[in-house]
Structure 1
Amino acid sequence: MILPAKAFQRWLQGIAPDASTADVCRVSGIKRTTLAQQLVRGKVSVTTVVSIARAYSVNPVAALAYFDDYRELAGPLPPPTRCELISQISTPDLLQAALARPAMDPAGRPRPQPPALSPAPHATSVKNWVDAIDDGEVRHRVSAATGVAPQNYSAQLTANRLSPELALATSRAAGVGPTGGLVATGLITEEEAGWPPGARQAALDSMSDGDLTTLAGDRLQALGKVLRRQEQDQAQTEKIWENLG
């Protein structure tokens, strides 16, 4: 999603009134040419706002809420649902948690606690998030609301990415809070989104052994399909090179 340059300049004046463009770029790590080009075009990227907000110790969620297209980020924000929290736990972390459950040992002996969860996002965080909140019609509602073709939407999910505007549209279509998709895409962190500390771990701990094992199995099956497809693509590429050689 692109933000109007005039609105961006008003926002920037509010958080850094005495800073020059060079100052802003230096503290935020943004190239001067990049920011200059965005201002000339009159369109500033969301990631630019997030980077500058962090550099000036402004919560990116509050910063984005300044802009009309992101007004829904103005608080108070609903907490993430349990399924959203679990969707942001990586497959390796799920597997380690499942193996650490006493039920995995026939003798029921206590097992070593798994390490702390890796931070979100993870390799399949976007697709997992959409799958977690999808009632079967979310993709169609997003397509109807945004005009994005279903196949293009699915392609973004397969690539584990989603534009900020589609992430917000998906949240609206599913009736969940607006921050989940922004965390899943890596635009903002759990802390910036206001998620309670340890919320993902608490959601994981609340899962029954059966539910956790089933979810881990589903994730492994999905991973297996991806790996098989990659192997087939690699084999096809090697065959082409052999024929050319």
Structure 2
Amino acid sequence: MPLPAKAFQLWLHRVAPSASTADICRISGIKRTTLAQQLVRGKVAETTLVSISRALDLSPLTELASFDHYAELGAPPQPPTPAELVSQVATMDLLRAVISRSSPAYGGYGDSDSASMRALSPAPHATSVRNWVDAIDDGELRHRVSAASGVAPQNYSAQLTANRLSPELVVATARAAGVGFTGGLVATGLITEDEAGWVPGAKQSALDALSDGELAALAGERLQALGKSLRRHEHEQAQTEKIWENLG
């Protein structure tokens, strides 16, 4: 849920009392027209607050928690589960891990350069949101979130297909799953792993803890999903080209 403009302005006055709107926009990289439009509409995007918080060297998570609708974020953070951490490992990194385990010649763990070769890409990645939800879903999660939030299941699924989820739905999803809130906020890219307080190397540790079979199965699932996505994109592209050809 976007932040109420009045509450946002009160927050801004509290954290930067002597800064003008122009100053805030300059240091945060936000366009003045963008901020002005949000204020006029009475709804300020959470990403706007995050950008300003970073520019002022404030914790985005803490500042977001100062707003009533996100007050739950102010509780002591619950660490992400191993499944959540692995969900934020990019597919290409999973494939590198499979190769690394199968043959030292391709950068196995015993190799002197393995530390640099095993460096994982930061979240989010191309399927991070959908992977996060799948990692915490017990089979009924989507229905519980829909019932609690009032968002139709098809609309919720559409957001996941597009690999996005509003911060409001991230919080609702985490609450319904009984997990911490940072996993989803990182998966959507609203905050970074560092800002979420994740332990450095946590993703790598969770990945290392997978057995060879678990790793291979997960990589296979990711590849299958990637294949479906690519085929769908190719089909849509072919249909578009066909339409243009018919239009002459």
TM-score (norm 2): 0.93
Separation (CA, whole Å) in 2 of partners of 1:110 and 1:131:
29
The residue identity in structure 2 corresponding to 1:81 is T
Separation (CA, whole Å) in 2 of partners of 1:194 and 1:148:
30
Number of paired residues? 242
Separation (CA, whole Å) in 2 of partners of 1:208 and 1:165:
35
1:40-189 pair list within 5 angstroms: 40-101=40-101, 104-105=102-103, 110=108, 112=111, 113=114, 114-189=117-192
Separation (CA, whole Å) in 1 of partners of 2:210 and 2:68:
39
Greater mean deviation of Cα atoms: 28-37 or 134-143: 28-37
- Secondary structure of the residue aligned to 2:218 is helix
- Secondary structure of the residue aligned to 1:152 is helix
Equivalent position to 1:233, from 218, 231, 236: 236
Separation (CA, whole Å) in 1 of partners of 2:245 and 2:26:
50
Separation (CA, whole Å) in 2 of partners of 1:149 and 1:71:
25
Tell me the alpha carbon deviations over residues 168-192 of structure 1, each in whole angstroms, 9 at most, x when there is no partner: 1110111100111110000000000
Tell me the alpha carbon deviations over residues 152-203 of structure 1, each in whole angstroms, 9 at most, x when there is no partner: 1111111111111011111011110011111000000000011111100110
The residue identity in structure 2 corresponding to 1:39 is L
Separation (CA, whole Å) in 2 of partners of 1:231 and 1:43:
38
- Secondary structure of the residue aligned to 1:193 is coil
1:1-16 pair list within 5 angstroms: 1-16=1-16
The residue identity in structure 1 corresponding to 2:139 is G
1:94–1:33 distance in 2 versus 1, CA, 3 Å: same
- Secondary structure of the residue aligned to 2:3 is strand
The residue identity in structure 2 corresponding to 1:194 is G
Separation (CA, whole Å) in 1 of partners of 2:8 and 2:108:
55
Identity of aligned residues (%): 73
Structure 1 partner of 2:212: 209
Separation (CA, whole Å) in 1 of partners of 2:146 and 2:108:
48
- Secondary structure of the residue aligned to 2:194 is helix
The residue identity in structure 1 corresponding to 2:76 is P
Structure 1 partner of 2:28: 28
The residue identity in structure 2 corresponding to 1:240 is I
Asked whether 1:197 is paired with 2:194, we answer no
Tell me the alpha carbon deviations over residues 3-28 of structure 1, each in whole angstroms, 9 at most, x when there is no partner: 11221122112211111111111111
- Secondary structure of the residue aligned to 1:190 is coil
Separation (CA, whole Å) in 2 of partners of 1:242 and 1:3:
46
Q: Which runs of 4+ in 1 moved over 4 A?
A: 109-112
Separation (CA, whole Å) in 2 of partners of 1:29 and 1:232:
38
Separation (CA, whole Å) in 2 of partners of 1:71 and 1:21:
26
The residue identity in structure 1 corresponding to 2:27 is V
Q: Gaps spanning 5+ residues in structure 1: where?
A: none
TM-score (norm 1): 0.94
- Secondary structure of the residue aligned to 1:148 is coil
Q: Report the Cα offset of residue 240 of structure 1.
A: 2.4
1:3–1:95 distance in 2 versus 1, CA, 3 Å: same
The alignment's C-alpha RMSD in Å is 1.7
Separation (CA, whole Å) in 2 of partners of 1:3 and 1:231:
39
Q: Report the Cα offset of residue 210 of structure 1.
A: 0.5
Structure 2 partner of 1:17: 17
